[in-house]
Structure 1
Amino acid sequence: MPITLESHHDVAVLRIDHGRANTLDTDSCRELVFRLEEVADARAVVLTGTGRIFCAGVDLKRIRDGGAAYVSEFLPLLSDALLAVFGCPRPVVAALNGPAIAGGAVLAAACDHRVLGPGTIGVTELLVGVPFPLAALEILRCAYGTAPLPSLTYSGSTYGGADALARGLVDELADNAFERALAVATRLGELPPEPFAHTKAQIRQPFHERIAEYRHSDDPEVERLWRSPAALAAVKSYVDGMLG
């Protein structure tokens, strides 16, 4: 299974376990949505990765190999997975056990609290040559505000340690990100569940509304750009050059 489930008392632990880099593809996106439905009765959730990587983002090798047809299947599932985390009524704490890159950084941003261990965080989609789905960009806007988005997205830079903390990309640093995230999730899980869920929904309502209003018109344009020969060639070049 690309997403494994563990139980720590009243806290559900979802662990991305999908290939060497814990990437997001059609299988892991579907599984993440399913797992979040499965843990609906948990008091809180910790989302983390297996090994030394939290999530390296989209599985670009599958984009390269699957081409335009795979892109059309994958992009809606990616948005659905990100929104499943973002819309979860329970507290969700990200234990960044290693790099959280591109879609992995958005996945972290969808959580309520981010604990960073060794590793870096940053959104690098534009470096590959593809734009952000609207859901991803609105999740980043909710987590970090509008003002930092240009420098965060245009540069494609990644940040670690004190730099990531100073920029507000994570909430705290810890030598053992999982243990600290579990402690935070346990504390948040002690809050009254219905008032917490309502407060969370109030905070995120403007972003959900914007996604609901514009996704139907923006998603086809994002899909067109990802399916374009230029974008697919850029992905192939990136994968062949950087990933081997």
Structure 2
Amino acid sequence: MKVLEERHGPVAKVILNWPEVMNALDMEMRLELAQLLRRLSSDEEIRAVILTGAGKAFCAGGDIRSQQGLGIPQLRKRLDAAYECINLLMRIPKPVVAAVNGPAVGAGFSLALATDIIFASDKAKFSQVFSKIGLVPDAGSIYILSRMIGLPKAKELVFTGRMIEAREALEMGLINRVVPAAELNSAVLSFAAELAHGPTAAYGLAKQLFLQAQHNDLETFLKVESYSQIIAMHTRDYKEGVSAFLEKRQPRFTGQ
């Protein structure tokens, strides 16, 4: 298996598992990752997801060797498989936290960007390496980068393909936290567990609103927001949150 799953209570840890080639994304890994993410999306026992890589790398991007000699139909299938993974990460109705344990380059960088929160070890590095081999970024990189850090910085990263250290990525607003490598797993698991015990139904609705905010004008967005809030007000978590507030106690959310 090139994608592994570990369960830590309500948290699922998804591990890209081809460390011999820095977890490069061949077709097999793309399909396995998409299949697992689809299953986790509908698994009511899982309320938060961690994405990380086995060994010393997060993900080296597409596996160049396995795409040599492919025709247009086969190349399109490879790209579509990557796009499905990006879409699933961005739309899965529960928080996804990336634990970037080493290099995240090319499509591997895109996978990290598609998650909701990014923790990086102090040994992590990031690069839009595509230009180094004469390609344009794929897996949604330009779409996400330009919205996160603006066009000037996004274009610089894309055109130069330069490698940036975790601290610079943090300063640019690309990631959320940098932690010592030895503490990455425990820090991410603790954070994900905290999210998993929160109002995850509301988190899922909020994720959809973040996506809607990127496309719609204010009037349209507010209509979608109103619809989402009405849904949230009919959840058990909302009733529990109000009861806990009135009773001056900590809420016990269930994600329903």
One fold, TM greater than 0.5?
yes
Kindly state the Cα deviation for residue 69 of structure 1 after the two structures are TM-superposed.
4.9
Higher relative contact order (CA 8 A, sep 6+): 1
SS of 2:14's equivalent?
Answer: strand
Match runs of 1:179-194 below 5 Å? 179-194=186-201
Residue 12 (structure 1) aligns with:
12
Residue 177 (structure 1) aligns with:
184
Question: What is the count of residue pairs matched by the alignment?
Answer: 209
Q: 2:132 aligns with which of 110, 115, 127?
A: 127
Q: Separation in 1 of the partners of 2:163 and 2:115?
A: 19
| Structure 1 residue 101 corresponds to structure 2 residue 102 | no
Q: Separation in 2 of the partners of 1:165 and 1:53?
A: 18
List gaps (5 residues or longer) in structure 2. 217-256
Residue 76 (structure 2) aligns with:
72
C-alpha deviations, 1:203-229, integer Å up to 9, x for none? 1125578xxxxxxxxxxxxxxxxxxxx
Residue 111 (structure 1) aligns with:
115
C-alpha deviations, 1:43-63, integer Å up to 9, x for none? 100000000000000101112
Q: Separation in 1 of the partners of 2:143 and 2:126?
A: 17
Residue 31 (structure 2) aligns with:
30
Match runs of 1:155-170 below 5 Å? 155-170=160-175
Give the TM-score, by structure 2 length.
0.75
Residue 240 (structure 1) aligns with:
none
Structure number with larger C-alpha Rg: 2
Change in Cα spacing, 1:38 to 1:11, as seen in structure 2 (3 Å) is same
CA RMSD of aligned residues (A): 1.9
Kindly state the Cα deviation for residue 150 of structure 1 after the two structures are TM-superposed.
0.9
SS of 1:48's equivalent?
Answer: strand
Residue 136 (structure 1) aligns with:
141
Give the TM-score, by structure 1 length.
0.79
SS of 2:204's equivalent?
Answer: helix
Change in Cα spacing, 1:153 to 1:205, as seen in structure 2 (3 Å) is same
Give the share of equivalent positions with the same residue, in percent. 27
Kindly state the Cα deviation for residue 115 of structure 1 after the two structures are TM-superposed.
0.9
